[in-house]
């Protein structure tokens, strides 16, 4: 039997590039879609066949392809209650996950004290409060005294009583350390217990499961969560997530040796976004926008608030980039899927994009949300601004600086591309896309040294154009 292969798809910017839609679009050419990092901090939205949307957090985005196996790898962290709820939600859509969904028994479990610690400490970074960082940090700390800090699904199934007792101790220790009183952990543990029973049939105890599938000819698509700039090592540390998000990490958390790797697909969005704090060189409105979007941890200027106060058409015509950022957020509905926080918006940054393409060896690039570029036709400049060069301390640089301090000092050069008037929603042929958009694609290919796979032309499931 000829073995199969694996491709890796990752986001190239700060997350929320629309990876899930591209996964859903490409899934028919694969037998397995697998997650290798992160957990319920990911918000992957896909269109249902009847035109609605579903938001997935932990389950891979190919749920509507009934023949596809869905795998959650050992590099992921699992929130039992949320996973059980997600399974229930998908089952309610008449999708049978039995025999399709497999969760590695080596994946770590998010414990109550992880959620507590994230709620206490995650504010400065602006985390999603899902306990992701504390869980990965306990994975590295492994154990303390006679108890596990890193409890994995397999441990829980082997000895649930011992593991729940350890979770309780882990929690008690933290509430004592942080002088927290009157917290009833018993109800939370009971809910986790019942969630575990729902998840039990999906836990994969064969640690070579994915390898055996590929050896028998199956084709895997790895689905990255978060994105390159949020990588715990290569991203804008410390304002990052706590897992490895770069392409190579698929072969650590995804439970397959790299020998099966075929190609790497990158997804970027035409108007960039970022949630949480941290440098963002091309942000409309710069640090003013960062402070505004992150006010009260991102919970102040939400979609409801902005819709009550602002008229996006008026703001779009403003000469202040801060106003343009608000208008683009409202028109593009750029608010967090998980957190509902306003996303900070920025110009497409070709220096950052090229950096991410080269660092990850991207072969094919998909640019999502190109329909939103049309809004630039209504700005006073009537053109699409794109960042094309960086300088640091007066010297040109062609990379993203490794430290936050340096990245905040970067000065950007902006070039303007002609805006287009026509709606691209519904277009299906690459050559019929507006000339200025094609010129931008050309520029991306030349600079980044990869080929365009396609572009997103609207939010609906079928709204995309492939280059072919």
Binding site for ligand IMP (CB under 6 A): 15-16, 41-43, 125-128, 130, 132-133, 225-226, 230, 239, 241-242, 275-276
> Which among 7, 31, 44, 349 is annotated as catalytic?
44
Residue nearest to ligand IMP (CB): 276
- Phi, psi of 294, deg, nearest 5: -95, 5
Q: Does 16 participate in catalysis according to the annotation?
A: yes
Phi then psi dihedrals of residue 334, to 5 deg: -95, 75
SS3 155: helix
∠ CA 87-89-93, nearest 5°, is 110
Nearer to ligand IMP, 356 or 419 (CB): 356
Give whichever of 275 and 419 is closer to ligand IMP, judged by the CB atom.
Answer: 275
Sheet with strand 464-466: strands edge to edge: 203-204, 101-104, 69-72, 32-35, 220-227, 6-11, 261-269, 364-368, 451-456, 464-466
Q: Does 138 participate in catalysis according to the annotation?
A: no
CB of 304 to ligand IMP, least distance (A): 19
- Whose CA is closest to 372, among 403, 345, 409? 345
Query: Are the CB atoms for 221 and 26 separated by under 8 Å?
Result: yes
Tokens representing 24 are 């859903």
Residue entry with tokens 């590099």: 75
Residue 274, strand partner residues = 344
Cβ of residue 226: shortest distance to ligand IMP, in angstroms?
5
| Catalytic one of 7, 16, 231, 349 | 16
Q: Which is nearer to ligand IMP, 335 or 417 (CB)?
A: 335
Q: Are 240 and 230 within 8 A, CB to CB?
A: yes
Nearer residue to ligand IMP within complex by CB, 125 or 359? 125
> Known catalytic residues?
16, 44
């Amino acid at each position: 039997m000829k073995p199969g292969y694996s491709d890796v798809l990752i986001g190239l910017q700060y997350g929320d590039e629309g990876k899930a839609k591209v996964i859903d679009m490409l899934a028919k050419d694969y037998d397995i879609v697998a997650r290798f990092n992160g957990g319920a901090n990911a918000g992957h939205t896909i269109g249902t066949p009847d035109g609605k949307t579903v938001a997935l957090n932990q389950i891979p985005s190919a749920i509507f392809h009934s023949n596809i196996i869905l795998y959650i790898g050992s590099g992921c962290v699992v929130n039992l209650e949320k996973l059980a709820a997600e399974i229930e939600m998908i089952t309610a859509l008449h999708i049978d996950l039995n025999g399709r969904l497999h969760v590695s028994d080596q994946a770590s479990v998010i414990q109550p004290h992880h959620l507590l610690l994230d709620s206490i400490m995650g504010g400065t970074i602006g985390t999603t409060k899902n306990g992701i960082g504390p869980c990965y940090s306990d994975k590295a700390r492994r154990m303390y005294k006679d108890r596990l800090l890193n409890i994995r699904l397999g441990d829980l199934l082997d000895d649930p009583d011992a593991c729940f007792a350890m979770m309780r101790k882990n929690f008690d220790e933290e509430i004592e350390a942080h002088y927290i009183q009157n917290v009833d952990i018993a109800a939370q543990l009971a809910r986790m217990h019942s969630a575990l029973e729902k998840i039990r049939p999906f836990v994969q105890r064969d640690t070579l499961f994915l390898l055996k599938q590929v050896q028998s000819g199956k084709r895997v698509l790895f689905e990255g969560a978060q994105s390159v700039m949020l990588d715990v090592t290569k991203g804008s540390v410390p304002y990052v997530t706590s897992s490895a998000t770069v392409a190579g990490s698929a072969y650590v958390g995804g439970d397959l040796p790299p020998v099966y790797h075929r190609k790497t697909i990158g997804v970027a969005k035409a108007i960039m976004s970022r949630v949480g704090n941290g440098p963002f060189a091309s942000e409309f409105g710069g640090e003013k926008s960062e402070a505004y979007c992150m006010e009260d941890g991102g919970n102040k200027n939400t979609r409801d608030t902005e819709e009550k106060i602002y008229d996006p058409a008026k703001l779009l015509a403003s000469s202040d980039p801060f106003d343009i950022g608000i208008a683009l957020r409202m028109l593009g509905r750029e608010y967090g899927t998980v957190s509902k926080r306003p996303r900070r918006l920025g110009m497409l940054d070709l220096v950052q994009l090229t950096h991410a393409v080269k660092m990850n060896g991207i072969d094919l690039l998909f640019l999502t949300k190109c329909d939103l570029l049309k809004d630039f036709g209504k700005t006073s400049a009537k053109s699409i601004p794109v960042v094309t060069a960086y300088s640091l301390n007066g010297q040109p640089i062609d990379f993203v600086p490794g430290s936050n301090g340096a990245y905040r000092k970067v000065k950007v050069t902006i070039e303007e591309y002609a805006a287009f008037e026509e709606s691209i929603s519904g277009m299906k042929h690459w050559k019929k896309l507006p000339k200025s958009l094609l010129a931008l694609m050309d520029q991306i290919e030349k600079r980044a040294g990869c080929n365009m796979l396609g572009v997103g032309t609207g939010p609906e499931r079928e709204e995309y154009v492939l280059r072919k």
